[in-house]
Structure 1
Amino acid sequence: MTLPTSTPETVTDARWEAVSSEHGVAALRYTHWLDAEARAYDGAPGLWRAVDDRVVGTGLRAQAPDAPLDEVVLAPGEHLDVGRLRLKAISREGAPALRVFDPETPGRTGLRGILSFPHDDGWALPGVFRPAPEGQINVIRSVDGYEREEPAVGTIALEVGGTPVELTVTGDPASGLSAVIADATSNVDAYRFRFLEIDPPAADGAVTVDFNNAYLPPCAFSDHYVCPLPPAGNRLGVRVEAGERATVLD
């Protein structure tokens, strides 16, 4: 099979490798949420069940002769390769799931590139980081409707297109912040939302928000991710023509 090739639109080699490699982001074919009953799941050899926050597979040799074990126990983040498949365990607030990465999934074999807006230094905007009050909680909603609570980190006040906004951010002010954003290009010229990495603020809170660093979330490449959605304050009414914007598919 000929591997897809990236379009020459400012996508770095490392980014393209992370997305399009054999077990990269675009190779996710299934996410199966497990319970205590061992059963077969689409795309996964053997039978699978949840034990505490672990993923347990049995009967793997019968289903896949090249499987290295008859039974496997995977902690969140661990994986097992069976043939060309990669079976990976994840956990969301103690609920385990089995992810099946398949190099032959159409989301990977049909991927031809990532479109980006032209780089524009004018989209590197000054802002001020404001830590959240102690004890404040944010509710994070995912694309599948799941909601979870986590301690609030803070906001960044800045102007975007002449409009004052306050971006809700996550992460660690000492090492780097991140935001989930949508804007007036969303669902028009770009995917419905994007992720944005932000360098740590200075001691006085001064920070640069460079929208050229906006990138597509994993769920732009597969419907089987459970990405967080942008909170209300991160849904901007202006067009942010910076960063990655859409995938290119056959």
Structure 2
Amino acid sequence: MSIDAVPSTAADSRSEFHEEWQQWHRRHEEARADPHGFLAVTGLHWLTPAPQQFPDVPGEWHTGDDGPVVILGEDEQLVVDGRQIRGRHEFGPIAERAGLTVGIDGGVLEVARRGGHDILRPRRPDHPLRAGYRGTPTYPPHPRWVLSGRFVPFDSPRSTTVGAAVEGLTHVYDAPGQIEFAVDGVPLRLTAFNGGTPGSLSVLFTDATSGVTTYPANRALTVGAPDEQGRVTLDFNRAANLPCAYTDFATCPLPPAENRLPVAVEAGEKIPYERLADDPAGRS
């Protein structure tokens, strides 16, 4: 199989390459299994102008132009910024893709905004999905999936609307450009979004393995900042699952239509064991 890979000396070395990948994967798994990470989410609740109560969240909640509001019962409380809150509390407007975490009995509560909606997501360390987590299967890392590419910026960022893991929800991102690369001599390109650190890029994609050996909806790849010539490196060994691969309480974005690759990217994370086993803890 011939792949257009980043030139490197053979000794540079396979052991160093594997060690770096192991460190990345270890950090990724530790973050995923954090006591208050996505594996600990026990529910997804959508706030409306009408007051609502939820079985796993204290208080009565509603939202509107002024943001989420909770009214706590006499024996209920939240911990917000280290302070115990009782009675009525107004959180104020929350920006899209932002949120805050408050303390609740036995865990924490995420109060956030996704796709134009205010949501609540309680997280408890003893949730069966987290308690039973045994790691994520992956393809064996291989240098052949470390590919060279070129970032081609748009004249100006393009507003790009994509679907979400939750039916009926959409996300809007500004795409700064596309990444051009090749596999087996086949030219390909991926629309990129801004990454989590300045200058970095984030790519959502599917490929011919999606729904076969990898999660069908999406995988994500972080790409370092382009150099002065626009050159980037795509290390598909680090293609990672998003939270929706594990829990139906996630609102993950789907890839843009043009990011459906016609090749099999046999690298990175595979379908989680929880989805393969149809574990109720992961699919509730």
Kindly tell me the number of residue pairs found equivalent between the two proteins.
Answer: 242
Query: What do you get for the CA RMSD once the two structures are aligned?
Result: 2.5
Mean CA deviation greater in 93-102 or 238-247:
93-102
- Residues 158/135 of structure 1: CA separation in 2 closer, same or farther (3 Å cut): closer
Alignment counterpart, residue 192 of structure 2, candidates 164, 169, 175: 169
Q: Deviations over 1:90-145 (max 9, x none)?
A: 11354211111122333222221111111111111111111113263322221223
More strand by share: 1
User: Hey, what does 1:133 align to over in structure 2?
Assistant: 155
The amino acid that maps onto 1:240 is V
- Given that residues 107 and 123 in structure 2 are in contact (C-alpha distance below 8 angstroms), is that contact kept between their aligned partners in structure 1? yes
TM-score by length of 1: 0.86
Alpha-carbon distance between aligned partners in 2 of 1:151 and 1:53, rounded to the nearest angstrom: 26
Alpha-carbon distance between aligned partners in 2 of 1:190 and 1:222, rounded to the nearest angstrom: 15
SS of 1:187's partner is: coil
Matches of residues 25-174 of structure 1 in structure 2 within 5 Å?
25-52=38-65, 54-63=67-76, 68-70=84-86, 71-74=88-91, 76=94, 77-92=99-114, 94-134=116-156, 136-144=158-166, 145-171=168-194
- Residues 118/135 of structure 1: CA separation in 2 closer, same or farther (3 Å cut): closer
- Residues 175/135 of structure 1: CA separation in 2 closer, same or farther (3 Å cut): closer
User: Hey, what does 1:215 align to over in structure 2?
Assistant: 240
- Given that residues 60 and 69 in structure 1 are in contact (C-alpha distance below 8 angstroms), is that contact kept between their aligned partners in structure 2? no
- Residues 142/107 of structure 1: CA separation in 2 closer, same or farther (3 Å cut): same
Q: Structure 2: 5+ residue runs without aligned partners?
A: 1-20, 280-284
Question: Taking every aligned residue pair, what percent have the same amino acid on both sides?
Answer: 33
Alpha-carbon distance between aligned partners in 2 of 1:205 and 1:53, rounded to the nearest angstrom: 43
Alpha-carbon distance between aligned partners in 1 of 2:116 and 2:213, rounded to the nearest angstrom: 37
- Given that residues 54 and 89 in structure 1 are in contact (C-alpha distance below 8 angstroms), is that contact kept between their aligned partners in structure 2? no
Question: Runs of 4+ in structure 1 displaced over 4 angstroms?
Answer: 63-67
Q: Structure 1: 5+ residue runs without aligned partners?
A: 1-8
